[in-house]
Amino acid sequence: MLVEQADGIATVTLNRPEARNALNLEMREELEAALRALGEDPGVRVLILRGAGEHFCAGGDVKFMLERRMTAAEGRARVEAMNRAVRALVHFRTPTIAMVDGFAVGAGCNLALACDLVVASDRARFGEVFARIGLVPDGGGTYLLPRRVGLARAKELVFTADVIGAAEAERLGLVNRIVPAVELEGRTRALARQLADGPPRAHAMAKSLLNRALDIDLDTALAWEALVQGMMITSTDHREGLAAFFEKRAPRFTGE
């Protein structure tokens, strides 16, 4: 796992390119540790998750599965390690962006879905391919996928185990933006820069509200909005935003 940090943007790179960044147990544990450490760093305003080489992530380590016949307990332990990483990603304090090139399949697809935004190259491919090897989706797939594409589409993708291209993924709502492969890093970092220059505390609070939106009723959502907005309206960033608006300049948000 590679971790870089500069100017408010943290980049975590799945670093096993010779295996299309397939997730062994060590990578799952390293990913969770990296996410938790970065999540506690107030200097991190945006997180980018990417894969080394030509692919984002090919999911679980199929070669390991073939060579070693795991017990139910061993299999569950590997899934639980993945679950901890997914929780850390979904609940990461600030906005997260999956930068997807090549394959994002199986657990790799669900890692991308665990990010707030997905920017994909025009050669990216996505798939819930678990059924091809007699498994069910894990890594949050049964939770994250229906929230992106709806229940009926989620069932279709899971049952067929089809791998779809970037254009179809965007049409279904899996992907936020498609860019030419040669522009993927530059365009993703431009988006990250835009978010990092925004109000970090407001972004964090908005993310918290949106993450619970599909699990609560309207009255509860309105009550949470009123509570949080009451806090935000007293913030230094709010005053700075107002001042910048009237002075016709870019705001300088500090997170206070």
Regarding whether 177 and 82 lie in a shared domain, the answer is yes
Residue 186 lies in a domain: yes
Tens digits of pLDDT across the chain (256 residues): 899 999 999 999 999 999 999 999 899 999 999 999 999 999 999 999 999 999 999 987 777 766 677 788 887 888 899 999 999 999 999 999 999 999 999 999 999 999 999 999 999 999 999 999 999 999 999 999 999 999 999 999 999 999 999 999 999 999 999 999 999 999 999 999 999 999 999 999 999 999 999 999 999 999 999 999 999 999 999 999 999 999 999 999 998 8
Q: What is the pLDDT of residue 231?
A: 94
Q: What is the pLDDT of residue 54?
A: 96
Here the tokens at position 3 are 């971790």
Q: What is the pLDDT of residue 65?
A: 67
Helix orientation angle between 72-90 and 25-39, rounded to the nearest 10 degrees = 30
Regarding whether 225 and 189 lie in a shared domain, the answer is no
Could you tell me the CATH number of the domain that includes residue 95?
Answer: 3.90.226.10
Q: What is the pLDDT of residue 114?
A: 98
pTM of the model: 0.94
Regarding whether 242 and 155 lie in a shared domain, the answer is no
Regarding whether 76 and 57 lie in a shared domain, the answer is yes
User: Which single residue is written with the structure tokens 């090139």?
Assistant: 101
Q: What is the pLDDT of residue 58?
A: 95
Regarding whether 170 and 236 lie in a shared domain, the answer is no
DSSP state of 209: H
Residue 254 lies in a domain: no
Residue 234 lies in a domain: yes
Regarding whether 105 and 26 lie in a shared domain, the answer is yes
Number of C-beta neighbours around residue 92 at 10 A: 23
- What is the residue range of 238's domain? 200-247
Q: What is the pLDDT of residue 71?
A: 82
Residue 255 lies in a domain: no
Q: Are 113 and 86 in contact (CB under 8 A)?
A: no
Q: Are 81 and 28 in contact (CB under 8 A)?
A: yes
H-only helix segments in the chain: 25-39, 62-67, 72-90, 107-113, 141-149, 151-160, 166-172, 184-196, 200-211, 218-232, 236-247
Q: What is the pLDDT of residue 66?
A: 66
Residue 253 lies in a domain: no
